[in-house]
Structure 1
Amino acid sequence: MLIFTQKKPPNPHAVVRLTLSLTAEERTRSRHRLQTEDGQVIFLRLPRGTVLRDGDLLVDETTDSLVRITAKPEPVLTVVAKTTIDLLKAAYHLGNRHVAVEITPTYLRLSPDPVLQAMLEQLGVEIKEEVSPFHPEVGAYGHHHGTSGLA
């Protein structure tokens, strides 16, 4: 059993024992029991509020073994707009609802939600249902709101 208690920044040259693919929500859990594909049990015991990013490394408390975190592809809604102002308006309305959102210069990404999808459609933006790694913004105070729509 591996118990990971420390997070280190990405290091492409690090020798890792295994790679752990987690969804955006799973990457916000500081206390979590996981099982690898081969049945190995892993515990996360990270400081409260820890948000894992794609490429982060975790250190096992007894063996100093490393595991690399990757963003697991998951169902998402990808929002694109004809104009920057339309994309900004969509971001504003999603932020007003405290929704976990990935923000880039060309698209927004969020977890599927039919109510939010209808709202975005009314704003006139294009929405694509995809399966992709999801990298939502960390909150302004260092935490991450859940992906359920409302915080």
Structure 2
Amino acid sequence: MLEIIERLNPAERHDAVISLDYDSRKRGRLKTLTETSEDAGLFLERGQVLMDGDYLKATDGRVVLVQAAVEQLTRASTTDPVLFAKICYHLGNRHTPVEIQPGSVFFQPDHVLSDLCRQWGLEVEDVERPFAPESGAYGKQAGGHHHDD
């Protein structure tokens, strides 16, 4: 099994790729498969979310690239910037992980939140795409790759 033990700075190459959904990228301990179906285990420091494009190091020296997996999400959209700001505020007030794109906010499926968005007049649809939620007011700046080393 490929034992992945630490984060790396951006690398010029990688030897393996793991594709993880958002909930899996929040875990420090995890068993998964590489894109070539090799067993892999994460043994990382807890409390830090892996981001799409992060690089990790295995005990055998191999470099592993993290990819955000495609997953089921809800997209709420509007062309009204004030309404968009209001719904982002209300979702954030509920500590809901959200990914904000121009005119659209993405979150993990939750019928209560979908109903809230509809009640506010947003278009709501189910989509499949990688999820890259904002890191929060006190986390690192979102919108790019985050590397700790």
In the superposition, the TM-score normalised over structure 2's length comes to 0.85
Q: What root-mean-square deviation, in Å, do the aligned CA atoms of Structure 1 and Structure 2 show? A: 1.8
Structure 1: gaps spanning 5 or more residues: 144-151
> In the alignment, which of 98, 103, 124 is matched to residue 101 of structure 1?
98
For 1:138, what is the secondary structure of its paired residue?
Answer: coil
Q: Output one character per residue of 1:7-52: Cα deviation in whole Å (capped at 9) or x when no partner.
A: 12444x31x2221111011111111121346552211111111211
Please tell me whether the aligned partners of residues 75 and 104 of structure 2 are also in contact (alpha carbons under 8 angstroms).
yes
Give 3-state SS (helix, strand or coil) of 1:90's partner.
Answer: helix
Among the aligned pairs, what percent are the same residue?
36
Q: Check if 1:27 corresponds to 2:18.
A: no
> What aligned pairs does 1:1-151 form with structure 2 within 5 A after superposition?
1-11=1-11, 13-14=12-13, 16-36=14-34, 39-61=37-59, 63-142=60-139
Q: Which residue of 1 aligns with 2:147?
A: none
Separation in 1 of the partners of 2:10 and 2:101? 21
Whole-Å separation in 1 of the counterparts to 2:104 and 2:10: 25
Asked if the contact 2:6/2:56 (under 8 Å) is kept, the reply is yes
Aligned to 1:147: none
Aligned residues: 140
TM, length-normalised to structure 1 = 0.84
Segments of structure 2 that go 5 or more residues without pairing to the other structure are 141-149
Q: 1:87 is paired with a residue of what secondary structure?
A: helix
Structure 2 residue aligned with 1:146: none
